[in-house]
A and B are shown apart, each in its own frame.
Chain A
Amino acid sequence: MTPALLRLLMMRLRGGFRQRLIQLTSLRGLLFFLAFGGIIWLLVVTNSTSADLGNLTDAALDRQALSAQISTFMPLGMLGMTLLTVALATGPTFHFSPAEINFLFAGPFRRRDLIIYKFSAYVAGVTLSCALITPFAQAQTGSVLSAFIASLLTLIFVQLNSAVIGMAGQALEGSRLARIRYPLIALLFVAAIATALYAWTAPDRSVFDLLSEFRHSWIGTIILLPYIVFSELFVAPSHFPHFPHLAIWATIAALINAALLAIVIVLDARTTDRALKENARQSDRWERIKQGGSFWATQRTELSSIRRAPILGGLGPIAWRQVTNAARNSFKVIVVFVGIAACVGPLASAVGVPVTDTRALTIIYVFFGFILPRTLVCDFRGDLSRMEIYKTLPIAPWRICAGQLVVPVLLTYVIALTMIVSILVFEDGVVTSVALILAAFALPVAVLIYAVENTIHLLFPTKLIPMGRADFEFLGRALVEFIAKAIVILAAVAASATMGLVTFTATRSSLVLPALVSWVTLTLIGLLTLIVLQYAFRRFAVAETVD
């Protein structure tokens, strides 16, 4: 890398560091940073305390068992990620911003230098990420150093691996080899379905048993060889007499990464034009995201317009706007989520973990309470920069708020119903009456989730994407929001359950009336949050410019 690029890198790192410091000078930034730091500290302390308190032999056995799982499943996971990259490979492999293209592409630099500059910038960012991961990985690897090295080399490998796959795809575009991509993906998909079906029908073998057998077979070992190196980094002993183990695996991993970087530089020369085009496309997407749009928005220029929007007393046009938003911005995401929901039943059955298990329930809650609302942004949160339009419309605020919630709530409900049907079909313990109750309660819970999410965003508006890596304010805010939302939802569910229990105690009849009272209570709480959302909408100050 040339000294000028090195200097640019150092200045940008310093600028990023300065921005974080500026965040801390505001009260809000400081509070969110403290919240984030506090929660991380709590998690680390809980992690180490539970290990200290437990029987030493048990802890050692636990670690051994975990090491065995890492050795077996981490290479498989990395292979899966690679295949996913092959299937979905689009976009630039190393993204250059418009400013970088204007300054650096026109400057006296070789492409190779630019790639190394970009790679160095990535390594600098990933080093920071690894510093955050290390406290958690340390419990497994045994030392801070080994946890840090293992995380760093693995994350660099993931980036370079996907870059090589992407560039190879671009270099082969139009050739005969490229034509086998989709048949190959289809073949692998069929194999995965067949494996899952076999595991489901075979009572004594789960999917994990089959995957484990594949991993330890000779053919599995050959296919997974590059990935095994990185899983060994996490399980190699790092203390003194065994230290060379870690050093050997780290050296091999570094050599693999160096080889991949060399391949990237070679392939880059053959894909420069395509890389430029992809960079421009990627930059457009980021610009759209900054304005509240979606990363997955359609990139078509022309569409056949829908001639009329429904009025429905003012609620119609707002809901219609969000329908077009969801259909054109998030259609693929919705399909993926419906697919995931449909797989919950068979997956739980194949793994042998009932959905009533605490772990399964936690995952389902995180999915509906955090992942889904964060991904499916077709309400106020995506339209903060267009609030001027909503504020000038001759439509009552409660109708605007209801119109905003209709689409995400109904989409979430469809995903929830898919999951319920999937569980009903594949779980033995779930009967139709339970599924119906779940379906009835899913709707008010969905209203509650999105009303709270939107209220928080209108009261404390913020960007939807982090400001690069280690945006502590953003991370802290996300955690605080998640906790606040969980408290509101749990309180609402508790109030609803209490009302049901009181009714049951009073009537001592069938469960229908208590269930109905519970449902009505939850629905009323959902409607109450809509009133709070309306207050937040009215109070929302559109960019207080005072020109």
Chain B
Amino acid sequence: MITVTNFSKQYRDFTAVKNLSFSIEPGQILGLVGPNGAGKTTTLRALCGIIPPTSGQLLIAGHDIVQAPIAAKQNIGYIPDDPRLFDTMTVWEHLAFTAAAYKLTDFEENAEALLLSFELTHKRDTLVHNLSRGMRQKVAIACAFLHDPKVILFDEPLTGLDPQGIRGIQQAILERAQAGAAIIISSHLLSLFENLCTHIMVLNLGECRRFGTMSDVLSEVGQTNNNSTLEEAYFTITQDNEKGEA
């Protein structure tokens, strides 16, 4: 569903991402982890067509995001870390806008269900600039889910959410994956990955340090049991590399 081959992104004399290759199948959830400046957001933004890659190929549901952007984007749901919604539009109007942009004719029932699942029904006619950050995040997620995308890209999905919201989003992510969506989550919250992800990729300084299933990555660094083991693995991988670089 998502195939990335030799993807690189260069900003003038700075390499944000270097020769990244991986693929994600339907139902899989990939966790992107790495320190600040590792290239996580750049990878997500390139995958959804916000920034063009310097080199390499990015396929979404079989469509190249550079060669066939419209077809590729039709299959993507992207939730940025800081959801900038349209001020002066209500929650419902955001869903109506998304429906029109993705050419959905019968969206009302689905939209109502999404509002209900994210506890936004009573905020349907509220202008979004009056919502809290967590509520705006939920609106962004509801809009991204409306067209039932085959690929969902989350950038720090839990920022600003209350405990109920966090549980609700985690549940929604699992349900989407079970329904066949390929999902990538970028986050610094390692516990989120432990709960959700089937695969993990550790990025550092724009390069992939480890990529594999969760159990493979954990076993590689000599840890196989569960809680906070990912944290240990993460520090082992990133610190090993830093020593190597030094």
Contact = CB atoms under 8 A, between A and B. Distances in A.
B133 to A, nearest CB: 13
Interface residues of B, number: 47
B125 A304 contact: yes
Interface stretch (B34-42, B159-167, B238-246): B34-42
Interface string B14-29: 1010000000000000
B100 A308 contact: yes
A324 B101 CA distance: 16
A394 B96 contact: no
A320 interface: yes
B50 A392 contact: yes
B235 interface: no
Given A321-B86, A541-B51, A542-B45, A392 B73 contact: yes
A463 B71 CA distance: 33
A394 B102 contact: yes
A96 B223 CA distance: 56
Given A321-B89, A547-B38, A395 B101 contact: yes
Contacts, number: 125
Interface in B120-167: 124-127, 129-130
A302 to B, nearest CB: 5
Given A320-B100, A547-B36, A293 B73 contact: no
A297 B101 CA distance: 24
A545 B90 CA distance: 29
Nearest to A400: B101
A318 B70 CA distance: 16
A418 interface: no
B48 A544 contact: no
Interface string B84-103: 11111111110011011111
B100 A310 contact: yes
Contacts of B108: 307
Nearest to A313: B103
6 contacts: A298-B127, A305-B124, A307-B96, A328-B88, A542-B51, A545-B42
Nearest to A305: B92
Given A389-B84, A547-B42, A306 B73 contact: no
Interface string A393-425: 111100000000000000000000000000000
A392 B37 contact: no
Contacts of B70: 394-396
B97 A545 contact: no
Given A309-B96, A546-B42, A547-B41, A302 B88 contact: no
A56 to B, nearest CB: 58
Contacts of A395: 70, 101
Given A321-B89, A546-B14, A547-B39, A309 B97 contact: yes
A391 interface: yes
Nearest to A387: B50
Contacts of A304: 125
A329 interface: yes
A163 B77 CA distance: 50
A386 interface: yes
B224 interface: no
A316 interface: yes
A293 B76 CA distance: 27
B78 A546 contact: no
